[in-house]
């Protein structure tokens, strides 16, 4: 089983999942291709721009990343009963992540970077950038090779 080189498990899953399942089970449930691709994206983005990529930061407490303050809990894998996002969200299927550059001013660089990666990194879907002003939503394909990512508009709904 592969464990990410550049991410701690709490950066990839919600606090509820971490508490209920534990670290080892969370690593086991994350698809291998997802873990490998997230590591590659973080490494290449750092090499290219000298910046990190943040997903969740709840596990670091309030001091990580200055501006972030530990507020991100649901940018990675979400519990099935999570009210954030769509009922059938790919976040709940362990294959979607909202990436943020460590310097929020560099979101355009992250958007451009993801666009250049395209299918060669098996990114199947990307939320249109005009709808993600401070993050980049990416989804990974598990079973087949993707010719090119599909860019989609989000389905927004009120959370009740």
CATH number of the domain encompassing residue 139: 3.30.1380
Does 106 fall in a domain?
yes
Task: Select the more confidently predicted residue: 49 or 154.
Answer: 49
> For residues 141 and 132, what is the distance between their CA atoms, to the nearest angstrom?
21
Q: Which domain holds residue 50?
A: 9-152
Average pLDDT over residues 65-71: 56
Does 157 fall in a domain?
no
Does 160 fall in a domain?
no
Residue (of 85, 111, 92) closest to 100 by Cα position = 111
> For residues 154 and 133, what is the distance between their CA atoms, to the nearest angstrom?
13
Neighbours of 146 (CB within 10 A): 17
pLDDT > 50? residue 64: no
From the number of C-beta atoms within 10 Å of its C-beta (0-12, 13-18, 19+), residue 93 rates as middle
Q: Considering only the C-alpha atoms of the chain, give the largest distance between any 2 of them, rounded to a whole number of Å.
A: 42
Does 2 fall in a domain?
no
Task: Select the more confidently predicted residue: 70 or 158.
Answer: 70
pLDDT of residue 156: 57
pTM: 0.89
pLDDT > 80? residue 157: no
> For residues 101 and 106, what is the distance between their CA atoms, to the nearest angstrom?
6
Number of domains in the chain: 1
Does 3 fall in a domain?
no
């Amino acid at each position: 089983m592969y464990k990410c080189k550049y991410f701690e498990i709490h950066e990839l899953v919600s606090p509820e999942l971490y508490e209920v399942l534990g670290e080892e089970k969370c690593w086991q449930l994350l698809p291998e291709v997802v873990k490998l691709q997230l590591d590659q994206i973080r490494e290449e983005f750092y090499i290219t721009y000298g910046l990190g990529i943040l997903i969740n930061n709840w596990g670091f407490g309030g001091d990580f990343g200055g501006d972030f303050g530990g507020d991100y809990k649901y940018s990675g894998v979400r519990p099935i009963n999570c009210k954030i996002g769509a009922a059938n969200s790919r976040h709940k299927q362990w294959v979607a992540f909202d990436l943020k550059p460590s310097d929020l001013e560099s979101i355009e660089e992250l958007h451009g970077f993801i666009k250049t990666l395209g299918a060669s990194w098996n990114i199947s879907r990307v939320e249109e950038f005009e709808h993600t002003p401070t993050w980049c939503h990416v989804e990974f394909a598990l079973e087949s090779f993707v010719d090119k990512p599909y860019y989609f508009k989000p389905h927004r709904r009120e959370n009740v």
